[in-house]
Structure 1
Amino acid sequence: MMQCGWLHSGPQLWLRCVHREVRVKAGKEPRVEEHRGWLLTVDPVSHSVVLVNFREDGASVCVVMGHTVEHVEVLREADREMAERLRCFLPPKTLSLDPEELRRRRSSVCRWLQKNRVPVEEDGNELRVAGALTIKAPYGPEDCCSSNQIILDRIQRLIQVQPDPHSETDPGRTGITSNN
């Protein structure tokens, strides 16, 4: 399967290429480069392609910038063993967090967004913002997903400036005490 116009093809096509061995042609003549490997992921903003190749002494990762990608050709599907290697290559961060910590993080982000007058509701383990954005565990800026780039950017920036709920200083306190 050969895909042209990578930048304009969209997430549905990208997902069909993930966890498959691909050949990526990048650049324009006369400087066309060819990259080959297992497509680990595609950055939804830059459309960059992350390829991994496994060797006896480890693995190598190659990132092909999305704006340079001209063609992506799927060479083969992953067998069961390769599919498992690809799934385990970058394990989700949530594996190291206990369910109680995830619940605290979800509640903290929810309260922060509400405090900033952002309509948010809990939907199982996800947060839904204004019907246009989803935040998945572990509820950081990189865990936001939306097709609306403006909303995505604003909510990510808002989460980035969220005070640490575990810090000992209360952002509402000035440190000045009264002896009245």
Structure 2
Amino acid sequence: MNSDGAQPLHTQPPSKLACFIGTYVSICTSNNSNYEGFVDAIDPYTGSIILSTLICGVPETKIVVGFSIRDITIKDPPPDRVHRVFISNEKSLDQTDIQSIKSKTHSWLLRNLLPVKEVDDKLHVHDGHVIISPPYKPENCTSSNSIVLGRIQHLLQNMPSDSMET
């Protein structure tokens, strides 16, 4: 239970937990350890929190187990910290690059006999069982079926960089 008399995190509704996502917090645990960082995710079932922070300039992720959390306080981040601790080294893509990647990905999936439809800026594979969002990489795939998702991601990982359109 939190020091202010509130219920433990895992008993809170997900809508209340969502207010912590992306904020800088200080967490005190039952063994009097303190952790600070940006909240990346909260498991609504256990109340466990995934924090991102910089330790000596190195990005670090820490999981604070829900049952050990005694208190959580939203704080202002230190001036040397940014919300996105893990900054991508990839160059930003312009619209023509994204369209080219989309077209190559679309043709690669068709060449592998998978039905693909373009819906807005997304590719829907097999009637929407897998949705691929820009910039059309394996990590941009979503699906409720983890087996199908894994197979599509594997296929995209093995796509030749010089994949030509059909």
Alignment match of 2:104 (pick from 98, 103, 108): 108
| Distance in 2 between residues matched to 1:25 and 1:119, nearest whole Å | 51
Question: Tell me, which stretches of 5 or more residues in structure 2 are unaligned?
Answer: 1-5
What is the CA distance between 1:108 and its match in structure 2? 0.7
> Is 1:76 the counterpart of 2:74 in the alignment?
yes
The two structures, once aligned, show a CA RMSD in angstroms of 4.1
Distance 1:20 1:160, change over 3 A: same
Q: Which amino acid aligns with 2:107?
A: R
TM-score by length of 2: 0.64
What is the CA distance between 1:34 and its match in structure 2? 4.9
Aligned residues: 149
Distance 1:156 1:99, change over 3 A: same
- Which position in structure 1 is the counterpart of 2:124? 128
Q: Matched residue of 2:9: which SS?
A: strand
Question: Which of the two has greater helix per residue?
Answer: 1
| Distance in 2 between residues matched to 1:13 and 1:148, nearest whole Å | 28
Q: Which amino acid aligns with 1:22?
A: V
Q: Matched residue of 1:36: which SS?
A: strand
**What aligned pairs does 1:9-88 form with structure 2 within 5 A after superposition?**
15-23=18-26, 34-39=34-39, 41-42=40-41, 49-52=50-53, 59=57, 61-65=59-63, 69-71=65-67, 74-76=72-74, 85-86=82-83
| Distance in 2 between residues matched to 1:149 and 1:158, nearest whole Å | 14
What is the CA distance between 1:125 and its match in structure 2? 1.9
Alignment match of 1:118 (pick from 105, 108, 114): 114
Question: Tell me, which stretches of 5 or more residues in structure 1 are unaligned?
Answer: 171-180
Report if aligned partners of 2:27, 2:34 keep a CA contact under 8 Å in 1. yes
Distance 1:63 1:75, change over 3 A: same
TM-score by length of 1: 0.59
Report if aligned partners of 1:25, 1:70 keep a CA contact under 8 Å in 2. no
Q: Which amino acid aligns with 2:35?
A: H
Distance 1:139 1:48, change over 3 A: farther
Q: Matched residue of 2:149: which SS?
A: helix
